[in-house]
Amino acid sequence: MLIRLPVASLVLLLSMGGVIATASAAEEAVKESPQPPAQHRHGRGPKMLEMGIPDGSTVTVWQPDLVIRKVDAQHGHVVIPKSGMDNYHAVVAEKDSGKVKQAVIRYEYQRGKPSGHSTTELTAVQKTDFEIVPDPVPREHRDYQSGETWSFILRFQGDPVANIPVSLKTVHGNIVSGTSDKSGQVALHIPDDFPNVQEGERDERSAAFDVTAEYETAGITYRTRLNSEYRVNPAHWKSLMLGMLVAGFGMVAGGFIGRAGLTKKKVRS
Amino acid sequence: MNPLTNLSVIRKLVQVGTFLLFVYGGSMGGYYLADKFSIALPALSCAYDSQSADLCVLIPFQHQMHHRLGMAIAGGGNLLMGLMPTLITLGLFVLLFAILNKAFCGWVCPLGTFQEFMHLLGQKLGLQRHESLDQSMVKRYRPVKWLILVFLVFVVPLLAGIGLLGDDFGDSYCRICPSRILTSLATGDSTQLFVDTANNTTLVLSLIGVFLFGLMTTLALTVRQPFCRICPLLALHAVFRKLGLLRLVKNATPRCDRCGLCTKACPMDIKAIHTEMEKKDLTTEDCTLCGRCVEFCPDKDVLQLKYAMLPVFSADPQYFKKRKKAQKDWEASNLTTLSKKRDASTDVKPG
């Protein structure tokens, strides 16, 4: 009768034993794997970003509550000061050279107390004349990942702009192009281009990509760039096929247990 | 029987509504954490479902054990500050929980709804179903939900935060939860149906997760609510059930001794509904407040669902008769009986 214990419970308990036994192996794996920069490890302090900001730009940080703070950029880098608020912040760099206006934007998550503001408030507001807005920004605990397709919206002074060529270029040199549709939207596929990815092994590397577009009106050229980070797609070590296979085994086991019977009392429909 | 006076039908409608709300509701502007309803929902609505309208309370608990309390202990920080987010989440959970009590399981939980509909499918397919499980077996699996709650939701993530276990244990319950796979699949996202080969920990946890999902899916065809019986949320609900406004109440009579229909109707096989003759409040640790026992109680007002001490649904002989007939009619129509009828009609030769 013991064998007829609910299999789900038994499997769980037995497997927990296995899980605990492999704890030290897991720790070793964690030690060996590349660590993200210290500022990303649940840090709540200032964060330094490499955005390739043009010299002479005016840089502002937009908090989730839309409070704007001016910051300094040096050699293309910018340090976001601690805001104490949890959620995405937008770093906006603008440079006005008369006939050419450039903008670089990056959405960066910072930890702190719950802001009580949705990221949609930050994306909806106009931050510069011509901007590329993620639609949506990867939500909390998610990232852009290689091999994924994401949408972006092109806006000029708050309104969507159609038929604008857009390109996404990764730090590994790959370029993907698209054109904005009538609602200003464009979907771009992030290349799965991290070198030396070992299938079946976790890879926590990240790299930068830029989405760029140009728009001319009234004799002024607006150049905008959305800078972000993307990570190796976990599909390299998380197997859907194996998942389907094991779930299939589970289904067979469930059917077998249900058929074999957990009790003599049954209802014949 | 008018279906709209049938409590089970009403409950199914509510379940479908809450399933749609919590699995897909986030698609209407609720993509980000700040847009979610509470982030402490007393039901298995999953964060891995990008369209979910809210998150199950077990997710923040694990994160807080791992990233806040565990790290505060490891780093010699302020323990009260480390514990504060957990207390806030718990407070929010209790506020919500008080409204519906354990009915969050029987009326709201997407995973519970899925299992009930799988069981209906099993019934319509004419599969041989289990009316109830042996009480000895019920007693044996009953502690499992407590073990999962204590260890996988609190202790193991805490040990990961302290540094005694790897970071992959930080959300150990989520890694085996069938709701993570179900709700993401329901939105067309197959990325949660995986075996993670990154290391031994992720391999074992993901194997358990997908196997459990498959097991639960087909087992639910023949056994009522298989995963609910070991669900850690059921255990968490049990801790706070005295604070809930909705209760199952029994006014026992001597006739109760000879009946037992209530336990047979109970999807969780709770024997106490039948045998308990002293206590009035029968919202036991496994009860999901589905109300089936009240529906199938033939004696007036012996079993009642009460909200803030006011009866909202009571056992009634007239209702019982209609409900029993409706159940019989419902169970009589399935694939097996349909094919038998067809065979019988083709056997009749003209003439």
Q: Would you state the pLDDT for residue B127? A: 87
A151 and chain B in contact, CB less than 8 A: no
Q: Do A117 and B34 touch (CB under 8 A)?
A: yes
% of chain B with per-residue pLDDT over 90: 84
Output the CA–CA distances (angstroms, integers) from residue A153 to A187, B16, B43, B136, in the order listed: 9, 35, 35, 61
Q: Would you state the pLDDT for residue B28? A: 83
Q: Which of residues 12-41 of A touch B (CB under 8 A)?
A: 12-13, 15-16, 18-19, 22-23, 25-27, 29-30
Q: Does A33 score more than 80 pLDDT? A: no
Q: What is the pLDDT of residues B65-101, one digit of tens each?
A: 999 999 999 998 899 999 999 999 999 999 999 999 9
Q: Does A27 score more than 60 pLDDT? A: no
Averaged pLDDT of chain B: 94
Dihedrals φ, ψ of A124, to 5°? -70, -30
* Residue whose pair of structure tokens reads 């009619």 in the numeric block: B329
B350 pLDDT tier (thresholds 50, 70, 90):
low
Q: Which helix (H) or strand (E) holds A249?
A: helix A240-260
Q: Does A30 score more than 60 pLDDT? A: no
Dihedrals φ, ψ of B236, to 5°? -65, -40
A202 and chain B in contact, CB less than 8 A: yes
HEC profile of chain B: CCHHHCHHHHHHHHHHHHHHHHHHHHHCCCCCHHHCCCCCECCCCCCCCCCCCCCECHHHHHHHHHHHHHHHHHCCCCHHHHHHHHHHHHHHHHHHHHHHCCHHHHHHCHHHHHHHHHHHHHHHCCCCEECCCCHHHHHHHHHHHHHHHHHHHHHHHHHHHHCCCCHHHCCHHHHHCHHHHHHHHHCCCCCCCCEECCCHHHHHHHHHHHHHHHHHHHHHHHCCCCCHHHCHHHHHHHHHHHHCCEEEEECCCHHHHHCCHHHHHCCCCCCHHHHCCCCCECCCCCCCCCCHHHHCCCCCCCEEEEECCEEEEECCHHHHHHHHHHHHHHHHCCHHHHHHHHHHHHHCCCC
Using a 10 angstrom Cβ sphere, with 0-12 exposed, 13-18 middle and 19 or more buried, the burial of residue A167 is middle
Q: Does A12 score more than 50 pLDDT? A: no
Rounded to whole angstroms, the Cα distance separating A92 from A236 reads: 34
Q: Do A268 and B128 touch (CB under 8 A)?
A: yes
CA angle B47, B51, B56 (to 5 degrees): 30
Q: Would you state the pLDDT for residue B260? A: 93
DSSP 8-state symbol, A247 = H
A213 pLDDT tier (thresholds 50, 70, 90):
very high
Q: Does B240 score more than 50 pLDDT? A: yes
Alpha carbon distance, N-terminus to C-terminus of chain A: 26
Q: What is the pLDDT of residues A106-135, one digit of tens each?
A: 999 998 888 889 999 999 999 999 999 999
| Residues whose CB falls within 8 Å of the CB of residue A123, separated by 6 or more in sequence, listed in order | A107, A133, A134, A135, A136, A137
- ipTM associated with this complex: 0.93
Q: What is the pLDDT of residues B277-317, one digit of tens each?
A: 988 999 999 999 999 999 999 999 999 999 999 999 999 99
Q: Do A19 and B198 touch (CB under 8 A)?
A: no
Q: Does A41 score more than 70 pLDDT? A: no
Q: Do B31 and A114 touch (CB under 8 A)?
A: no
Q: Would you state the pLDDT for residue B246? A: 97
Q: Do A258 and B181 touch (CB under 8 A)?
A: no
Q: What is the pLDDT of residues A53-62, one digit of tens each?
A: 999 999 999 9
Q: Would you state the pLDDT for residue A23? A: 36
Q: Among A7, A18, A242, whose Cβ lies nearest the Cβ of B195? A: A242
Q: Would you state the pLDDT for residue A18? A: 37
Q: Does A69 score more than 80 pLDDT? A: yes
Rounded to whole angstroms, the Cα distance separating B289 from B265 reads: 12
Q: Would you state the pLDDT for residue A29? A: 34
Q: What is the pLDDT of residues A137-187, one digit of tens each?
A: 998 878 999 999 999 999 999 999 999 999 999 999 999 999 999 999 999
What is this structure's pTM?
0.87
Tell me what the mean pLDDT of segment A24-35 comes to: 36
Contact yes or no for B323/B313 (Cβ under 8 A): no
Q: Does B46 score more than 60 pLDDT? A: yes
Q: Among B167, B198, B213, whose Cβ lies nearest the Cβ of A250? A: B213
Q: Would you state the pLDDT for residue B1? A: 81
Q: Which of A76-85, A204-213, B128-137 has the lowest mean pLDDT?
A: B128-137
Tell me what the mean pLDDT of segment B242-268 comes to: 95
Tell me what the mean pLDDT of segment A20-31 comes to: 36
The single-letter code of the amino acid at B235 is: A
Q: Which of A10, A11, A16, A88 should be substituted to probe chain B, the one whose Cβ sees the most B Cβ atoms within 10 Å?
A: A16
